[in-house]
Amino acid sequence: MLNKFGNKLVVVLICVLVSNGLAVEKPTTPQKTCVTGECHADYSKKNFVHAPVGLGDCDSCHKPMKPEEHTFDFVRKGRDLCEYCHLEQTGKKVVHEPLKTGDCMQCHDPHSSDNKFLLPEKTVASLCNTCHKVTEGFQYLHGPTAVGECTICHESHSADHKGLLVAEHSKLCFSCHVVTQDELTKYEFVHEPAKNDCIGCHNPHGASNPQMIKDFAPYLCYTCHKDIQNAAENSMYQHSVVSEIDGCLKCHTPHASSVKFILKSEPATICMTCHDKPQGITKDEVLPAFTDQIKDKKFLHGPVNDNDCSGCHITHGSKYFRLLAKEYPPIFYAPFSEKNYELCFGCHAKTLVLTAKTNDLTDFRNGNQNLHFLHVNKERRGRTCRACHQTHASNLPKHIRESVPYGIWKLPVGFTKTETGGNCAPGCHLPKDYDREKAVDYSAPQAAKPTQQPSGT
């Protein structure tokens, strides 16, 4: 009976010991040392022991209040307790919020820990993650983030750079991305945000998109380029490639290039990656391959020869047909107005069509009769330039075309040039000559030249 009772007492005693973790009574007088086989022994059993604790120097942080009750106060308050030895952890410009508002124990055990740096968590990242969720939901993680290296980019306590960064934005990225840094120093044309705002486009931690881009082009680009978005989405004539996913990147590089406007290569070369073959606009309308239009042609129009497609086309979208930069009638006939030919007159003198008589404004004249004026400058059914000229390239001098689409018919132009004039045998009228020096007389009706008369008139 007694024995039994005694056993029970032992069990109760053990329970108390286990639940308190204390094997002995608290001392009520000052002790030589606080760490003995029975007291506070667990501090030194962890992998990492804080130096003063290891030395048994409990006084560096604790001082007795009422020895008889074994109560203690701290020798200093808050961060000062630690900063007494660990000088100024909050001395830099940007201070981590927890160090502003709280003490060091949010992230460190003052005595000892199984984890490096006396951290309460196994790794630095898992500590950070207790308060931050910077990688949640991302399919792609940045190399250093994926392996928990938060502190390769961030200071834990305070930093001289925004965002607690160890270095200024782009310098930080360049410290590992030497290839990108190389691009930016090597190439003449650098995209403005790539100079100092990598995170304008990349999420530094990870993203749902490859390459950690915040969004796919064009949406990524539209966040800053509203004007391009407007051209791409609201223009009367649109270029589908611009609004396609990754479309911008078919023509531009995101960072830098040796070509103006950070283009991937010379503009014409880029255009030819698609316009070397016919491209369908609608089911019924197919654009001819651009390369076929210039292949083996004797004469390339100046800007085409210079690979300057932008001289005439706005790639992102235009209010003019065929993405033209300025007005140019899409048709064979148009009532004359200067405005109709803004495109051509951007580079050529408009005077060539403005006066009926001239001796020098154009070579397309019969004596002093201006044949440009005659054909183009009419209130009704004025011929547009395309009636006679091929815009990109031609085998005939002065960019005269061999034929012009007229409904279903390829209407021939039949041009030959002479020293002082020329001869046309078009599908429009009887063959005619013009001569600048000895004007051909058309006052009397002329006989046709049957051999050059096109069929189907």
Of residues 154 through 183, those in contact with ligand HEC by CB under 6 A are 154, 156-157, 162-165, 170, 172-173, 175-177, 180
Nearer to ligand HEC, 8 or 322 (CB): 322
Which residues in the 423-452 window bind ligand HEC by CB under 6 A?
Answer: none
Nearer to ligand HEC, 9 or 85 (CB): 85
Q: Is residue 438 a contact partner of residue 420, using CB atoms and an 8 Å limit? A: yes
Nearer to ligand HEC, 8 or 66 (CB): 66
Considering the complex, what minimum distance in angstroms separates the CB of residue 114 from ligand HEC?
Answer: 11
Among 64, 346, 367, 454, binds ligand HEC (CB under 6 A): 346
Which one of the spans 7-15, 19-27, 93-101, 446-454 is the region binding ligand HEC (CB under 6 A)? 93-101
Quote the CA–CA distance of 244 and 97 in Å, as a whole number. 43
Which one of the spans 10-18, 20-28, 381-389, 447-455 is the region binding ligand HEC (CB under 6 A)? 381-389
Nearer to ligand HEC, 247 or 431 (CB): 247
Distances (CA, A) of 410 to 289, 378, 402, 457: 18, 23, 9, 11
Nearer to ligand HEC, 8 or 88 (CB): 88
Quote the CA–CA distance of 109 and 87 in Å, as a whole number. 18
Binding mask 34-73 for ligand HEC (x = CB under 6 A): xx----x--x----x-xxxx--xxx-xxx-----------
Which residues in the 95-114 window bind ligand HEC by CB under 6 A?
Answer: 96-99, 104-108, 110-111
Quote the CA–CA distance of 2 and 275 in Å, as a whole number. 104
Considering the complex, what minimum distance in angstroms separates the CB of residue 8 from ligand HEC?
Answer: 30
Binding mask 402-421 for ligand HEC (x = CB under 6 A): ---------------x---x
44-80 burial, b at 16+ Cβ within 10 Å, e below that, comes to eebeebbeebeeeebebbeebeeeeeeebeeeeeebe
Q: Is residue 322 a contact partner of residue 330, using CB atoms and an 8 Å limit? A: yes
Q: Which residue has the tokens 């030249």?
A: 449
Considering the complex, what minimum distance in angstroms separates the CB of residue 444 from ligand HEC?
Answer: 22
Quote the CA–CA distance of 368 and 355 in Å, as a whole number. 10
Residues in the chain: 457
Which residues in the 353-372 window bind ligand HEC by CB under 6 A?
Answer: 353, 362-364, 372
Which residues in the 232-271 window bind ligand HEC by CB under 6 A?
Answer: 232, 237-242, 247-252, 254-255, 261-263, 267-268, 270-271
Residue in 190, 315, 325 with CA at minimum distance from that of residue 247:
315
Nearer to ligand HEC, 279 or 452 (CB): 279
- Longest Cα separation, the chain: 151
Cβ burial of 320 (10 Å; 0-12, 13-18, 19+) is buried
> Which amino acid, 274?
C
Considering the complex, what minimum distance in angstroms separates the CB of residue 134 from ligand HEC?
Answer: 4
Considering the complex, what minimum distance in angstroms separates the CB of residue 12 from ligand HEC?
Answer: 24
Among 36, 151, 265, 452, binds ligand HEC (CB under 6 A): 151
Q: Is residue 409 a contact partner of residue 307, using CB atoms and an 8 Å limit? A: no
Considering the complex, what minimum distance in angstroms separates the CB of residue 158 from ligand HEC?
Answer: 9
Quote the CA–CA distance of 185 and 149 in Å, as a whole number. 28
Nearer to ligand HEC, 13 or 105 (CB): 105
The C-alpha angle 33, 37, 42, rounded to 5 degrees, equals 90
25 makes contact with ligand HEC (CB under 6 A): no
Quote the CA–CA distance of 211 and 142 in Å, as a whole number. 8
Which residues in the 191-220 window bind ligand HEC by CB under 6 A?
Answer: 191-194, 197-202, 204-205, 211-213, 217-218, 220
Q: Is residue 442 a contact partner of residue 365, using CB atoms and an 8 Å limit? A: no
